[in-house]
Amino acid sequence: GNASPLLSGSRSSKTFKPKKNIPEGSHQYELLKHAEATLGSGNLRQAVMLPEGEDLNEWIAVNTVDFFNQINMLYGTITEFCSESSCPVMSAGPRYEYHWADGTNIKKPIKCSAPKYIDYLMTWVQDQLDDETLFPSKIGVPFPKNFLSVAKTILKRLFRVYAHIYHQHFDAVMRLQEEAHLNTSFKHFIFFVQEFSLIDRRELAPLHELIEKLGSKDR
């Protein structure tokens, strides 16, 4: 048989979208460093709380960028298992199926394969993150009035990528020994959206049992 492509280091090059970098030396960069330091303490409930004296929008912005990068990386590890043939629809188990619409280019929801859906989704998120009027990277530039609703839509959509990975590709995640990484990332994500009520409970239904389990271990 052929050598596994995973061993030849092609895995890291299969990341799916370019990483979104927060400019070094900026206040947002400091916030990201703070987030990483508190995460290291292991108490995720505390790590997601708004640091004293900080702006909520800015805290949500920094974390949203970070979750985009994490999910990008996690999905990048399993892209070869997520194909038109393995995943002809974007689903999270048999009861949940997602159709793509972004309200601008595609107004009427379309049924498409999971890789296509995730490509649309991640490209759309990246466009939002790169929009300086929505996610200002310059100090002192205010966030727009609709920032929170945009952030909520982004996070709601990013959740669907976790849901798809958990429901359709968890065996691949286990084989790659990425489950600890996936679980930690998802737990951080869930505690964050719970702390600021950013995703409607109904939207979280596909992973309800997992979310309950993550929460109970932590009380």
Binding annotation for Zn(2+): 82, 87, 164, 169
Give φ, ψ of 91 to 5 degrees: -130, 165
Which residues make beta-bridge pairs with 90? 98
Binding-site residues from annotation: 82, 87, 164, 169
Retrieve residue 33's tokens: 């460093």
Q: What is d(CA 162, CA 171) in angstroms, rounded to the nearest whole number?
A: 14
Sequence-distant (≥ 6) Cβ neighbours of residue 199 within 8 angstroms: 152, 155, 156, 159, 193
Secondary structure class of 110 (helix, strand, coil): strand
Cα end-to-end distance, the chain, whole Å: 48
Counting Cα atoms < 13 Å in the Cβ hemisphere of 135 gives 22
b/e burial code for range 43-76 (CB count within 10 A of at least 16 → b): ebeebbeeeeeeeebbbbbbbbbbbbbbbbbbbb
